[in-house]
């Protein structure tokens, strides 16, 4: 007679480890663990509870197995990913779908049966000679309406360590929930490692997402975006849950903007990679709650948001003392930090754009590195990778809004921001006329130039609605429909804004300084409460010069010139019309089930722009609209 899963686990695990599993009364969990232990066939198994010792054990293993190396500052370590494993692998990340299911052209899918067969073959006996870590975490604050439990299996102590920095521990939550736990499952193996302890078999790198069983498989990769289950892998699963259940699971930061007289106003922000999301959420003056993922629910007619995570997996490229003083301080204090894919010299991390002299040699993602070193393709290898990162707990940030991070009911969202990267179209900041106008002309029309956060060519303008395209697991039309309805049901709708920090003049010069965003945030905060007027333009409300002048002085102690304002907030009709054409074409041609309202709202915006052009010409000064 075949033995039961719990009996199998008892046979397979050391008594001390088995005890930890047996304390969780959840047969589905036992079955899952038994199945994958049998398949992966690890030589050793460790189960982590929420205890400090268990966490320390994982950290020790990351060093012992060579996946991390200690640096000079206590608490700091460095991890390297394979030279060709430096970003999310879009081509090999697939949603598994049963035959006949069509998720539309933006989602990379694979036949479910075929995919499951392939991934299970790839994973068979993959952990022979390795240690398996069984880990429990939760998404969202513990014991709250946001909480989603998750179990992670991995043979990478680096991935495990990262998760301890990024998520709330969930072992006790699994015990508490028992059979009630509707949990997500992640199975990861870095696969065979090379002498530098990086994944070797990149040709067999696969990330397969099974919606039906809410399980994600990831193999032959170490880069966090491909492996840290609770981050972008869970995100595919929670988007689907959110659309089914009528809430929002978003690629958004969550931050507090401090208004006059101690007023606290919370904003979420969706920006594609390298569009200023991290630096906005960590800006001095304000308080961070989260930098990447937010859950937003309707609670008695209010939109309430929570950070899915409790840490930051942030891009380090370009972080310097002057522009990012808070992150700089965090990175230079004895916090527990994993630096990845930076340059190391004498136990110190270096990265491009840090504003300090970078050594001419050291160790980086290519191994031993020297200035001028070329890769196999003949490209010169920079000291650090553009997508090099730091992983740290949020409580290392002096400006963390700790209360908001742990609030079981989340925080009330006053405003939602969409931030793109375009050189010639959107003004630096504007406010939507209403929820639907914002969701469609700002969120669903978001575009950005490609960056190094994903593999492939850089600098190409790409459609990235809500900054969610890489992570969609439901047809985009359904996703947008859910978004619009969510807002319609709210009694108090957040205001919607769009920002663009990357506007240039006709000679290619930046029109804004990096810290100008501090002023846009203060303006948006005032607008949420109706404290300042704004100018109505065809594309929404823009700030009045006088208000910005005052805020520039107050916040940055800068004289803000009329000419600068006029250039920055000029309405660029030809570019705006071209953008509407581009976006409409995508929704008409590629999206089967785009809601009708989307086309109506885009058409209304086009009409307003055409009318304005008739009156004022192609490039319209904001003062024209103010006078009108």
Q: Check if the beta carbon of residue 576 is closer than 8 Å to that of residue 610.
A: no
30, 59, 76, 88: which one binds ligand SPV (CB under 6 A): 88
Name the minimum Å distance from CB 2 to ligand SPV: 40
Options 62, 275, 519, 570, the catalytic residue: 275
224 is in an annotated binding site: yes
State the pairing for strand pair 76-79/337-340. parallel
Binds 538, which of ligand SPV, Mn ion, none (CB < 5 to 8 A, cut-off by type)?
Answer: none
Backbone angles phi, psi at 482, to 5 degrees: -60, -40
User: Rounded to whole angstroms, how far apart are CA atoms 193 and 221?
Assistant: 10
CA dihedral 114, 115, 119, 121 (to 10 degrees): 0
Q: Which two tokens stand for residue 458?
A: 């850089």
Largest CA distance in the chain: 86
The answer to the question of whether 530 is labelled as a binding residue is no
DSSP string, 309-338: -SEEEEE-TT--TTT-HHHHHHHTSS--EE
Question: What contacts 92, CB < 8 A, 6 or more positions away?
Answer: 205, 206, 207
Look up 275 and say whether it is catalytic: yes
Q: Is 499 in contact with 543 (CB distance < 8 Å)? A: no
- 292 sits near ligand SPV (criterion: CB under 6 A): yes
249 annotated among ligand-binding-site residues: no
Cβ nearer to ligand SPV, comparing 387 with 568:
387
For residue 130, the SS3 value is: coil
What is the closest distance, in whole angstroms, from the C-beta atom of residue 224 to ligand SPV in the complex? 5
Map the footprint of ligand SPV across residues 195-254, applying CB under 6 A: 224-225, 231-232
| Tokens (6 digits) for 317 | 């490229």
Q: Any known ligand binding at 276?
A: yes
> Sheet of 311-315: strands edge to edge?
69-70, 76-79, 337-340, 389-393, 311-315
Give the DSSP letter string of 581-616: HHHHHHHHHH-TT--HHHHHHHHHHHHHHHHHHHHH
HSE (side-chain half, CA atoms, 13 Å) at 28: 15
Residue 217 contact partner, candidates ligand SPV, Mn ion, none, CB within 5 to 8 A by sort of partner: none
Our CB check for Mn ion shows the closer of 118 and 447 to be 447
Site for ligand SPV in 141-160 (CB under 6 A): none
Q: How far is the CB of 155 from ligand SPV (least distance, A)?
A: 19
CA 237 to mean position of chain CA atoms? 14
Shortest CB 253 distance to ligand SPV, Å: 10
Closest distance of CB 472 from ligand SPV, Å: 13
Nearest to 50 by CA among 161, 168, 227: 168
Nearest residue (CB) to ligand SPV, 418 versus 523: 418
Report 435-494 residues binding ligand SPV (CB under 6 A): 453
Of 240 and 522, the one with the shorter C-beta distance to ligand SPV is 240
Q: Residue 224 touches which of Mn ion, ligand SPV, none (CB < 5 to 8 A by kind)?
A: ligand SPV
Q: Which residue is nearest to ligand SPV (CB)?
A: 225
CB 196, min distance to Mn ion, A: 26
231 binds, among Mn ion, ligand SPV, none (CB under 5 to 8 A by kind): ligand SPV
Count Cβ atoms below 10 Å from residue 241 Cβ, excluding itself: 19
Residue 225 binds which entry of Mn ion, ligand SPV, none, CB below 5-8 Å type-dependent = ligand SPV
User: What tokens does 319 get?
Assistant: 């972080």
Could you tell me how many residues of this chain bind ligand SPV (CB under 6 A)? Answer: 9
Using DSSP, state whether 477 is helix, strand or coil.
Answer: helix
Residue 501 touches which of Mn ion, ligand SPV, none (Cβ within 5-8 Å per kind): none
User: For residues 317 and 311, what is the distance between their CA atoms, to the nearest angstrom?
Assistant: 18
Q: Which two tokens stand for residue 394?
A: 């949020």
Question: Can you tell me the distance from the alpha carbon of 256 to that of 399, in angstroms, rounded to the nearest whole number?
Answer: 10
Q: Which is nearer to ligand SPV, 54 or 447 (CB)?
A: 447
Residue 626 beta carbon to ligand SPV: minimum distance, rounded to whole angstroms: 38
Residues in 264-283 that interact with ligand SPV by CB under 6 A: 273
388 is known to lie in a ligand binding site: yes
The full length of the chain comes to: 628
Q: Binding site for Mn(2+): what residues are annotated?
A: 232, 251, 292
**Which of the residues are catalytic?**
275
Q: Binding site for substrate: what residues are annotated?
A: 88, 223-225, 273, 387-389
Q: Binding site for GTP: what residues are annotated?
A: 274-279, 389, 421
Q: Binding site: what residues are annotated?
A: 88, 223-225, 232, 251, 273-279, 292, 387-389, 421
Footprint on this chain of ligand SPV (rule: CB under 6 A)? 88, 224-225, 231-232, 273, 292, 313, 453
């Amino acid at each position: 007679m075949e033995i039961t899963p719990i009996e199998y686990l008892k046979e397979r695990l050391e008594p001390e480890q088995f005890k930890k599993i047996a304390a969780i009364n959840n047969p589905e969990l036992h079955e899952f663990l038994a199945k994958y232990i049998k398949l992966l066939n690890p030589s050793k198994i460790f189960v982590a509870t929420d205890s400090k010792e268990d966490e320390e054990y994982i950290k020790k293993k990351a060093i012992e197995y060579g996946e991390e190396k200690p640096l000079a500052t206590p608490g700091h370590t460095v991890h390297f990913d394979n030279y060709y494993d430096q970003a999310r692998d879009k081509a090999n990340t697939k949603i598994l779908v049963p035959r006949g299911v069509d998720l539309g052209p933006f989602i990379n899918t694979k036949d479910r049966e075929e995919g499951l067969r392939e991934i299970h073959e790839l994973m068979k006996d993959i952990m022979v000679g390795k240690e398996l870590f069984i880990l429990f975490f939760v998404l969202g604050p513990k014991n709250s309406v946001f909480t989603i439990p998750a179990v992670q299996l991995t043979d990478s102590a680096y991935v495990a360590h990262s998760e301890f920095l990024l998520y709330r521990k969930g072992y006790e939550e699994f015990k508490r929930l028992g059979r009630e736990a509707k949990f997500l499952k992640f199975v990861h193996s870095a696969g065979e490692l090379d002498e530098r302890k990086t994944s070797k078999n990149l040709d067999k790198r696969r990330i397969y997402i099974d919606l039906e069983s809410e399980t994600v498989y990831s193999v032959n990769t170490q880069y966090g975006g491909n492996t840290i289950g609770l981050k972008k892998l869970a995100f595919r699963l929670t988007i689907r849950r959110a659309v089914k259940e009528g809430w929002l699971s978003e690629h958004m930061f969550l931050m507090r903007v401090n208004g006059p007289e101690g007023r606290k106003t919370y904003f979420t922000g969706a920006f594609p990679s390298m569009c200023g999301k991290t630096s906005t959420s960590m800006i001095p003056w304000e308080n961070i709650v989260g930098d990447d993922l937010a859950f937003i629910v309707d609670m008695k007619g209010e939109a309430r948001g929570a950070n899915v995570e409790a840490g930051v997996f942030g891009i380090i490229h370009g972080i310097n003392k002057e522009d990012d003083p808070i992150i700089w301080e965090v990175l230079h204090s004895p916090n527990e930090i994993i630096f990845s894919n930076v340059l190391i010299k004498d136990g110190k991390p270096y990265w491009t754009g840090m504003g300090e002299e970078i050594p001419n040699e050291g160790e980086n993602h290519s191994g031993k590195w020297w200035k001028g070193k070329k890769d196999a393709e003949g490209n010169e290898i920079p000291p650090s990778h553009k997508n090099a990162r730091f992983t740290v707990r949020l409580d290392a940030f002096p400006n963390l809004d700790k209360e908001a991070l742990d609030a079981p009911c989340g925080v009330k969202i006053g405003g939602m921001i969409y931030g793109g990267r375009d050189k010639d179209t959107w003004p630096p900041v504007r406010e939507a006329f209403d929820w639907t106008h914002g969701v469609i002309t700002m969120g669903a029309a978001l575009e950005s130039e490609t960056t190094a956060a994903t593999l492939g060519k850089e600098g190409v303008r790409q459609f990235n609605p809500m900054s969610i395209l890489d992570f969609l697991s439901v047809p985009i039309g359904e996703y947008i429909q859910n978004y619009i309805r969510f807002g319609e049901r709210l009694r108090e709708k957040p205001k919607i804004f769009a920002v663009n920090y990357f506007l240039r003049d006709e000679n290619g010069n930046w029109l804004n300084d990096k810290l100008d965003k501090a002023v846009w945030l203060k303006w948006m905060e005032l607008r949420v409460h109706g404290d300042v007027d704004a100018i109505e333009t065809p594309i929404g409300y823009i700030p009045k010069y006088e208000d910005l002048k005052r805020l520039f002085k107050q916040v940055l102690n800068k004289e803000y010139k009329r000419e600068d304002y006029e250039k920055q907030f000029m309405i660029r009709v030809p570019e705006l019309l071209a953008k509407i054409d581009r976006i409409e074409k995508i929704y008409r041609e590629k999206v089967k089930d785009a809601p009708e309202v989307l086309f109506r709202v885009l058409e209304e915006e086009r009409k307003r722009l055409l009318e304005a052009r008739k009156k004022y010409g192609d490039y319209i000064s904001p003062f024209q609209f103010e006078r009108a």
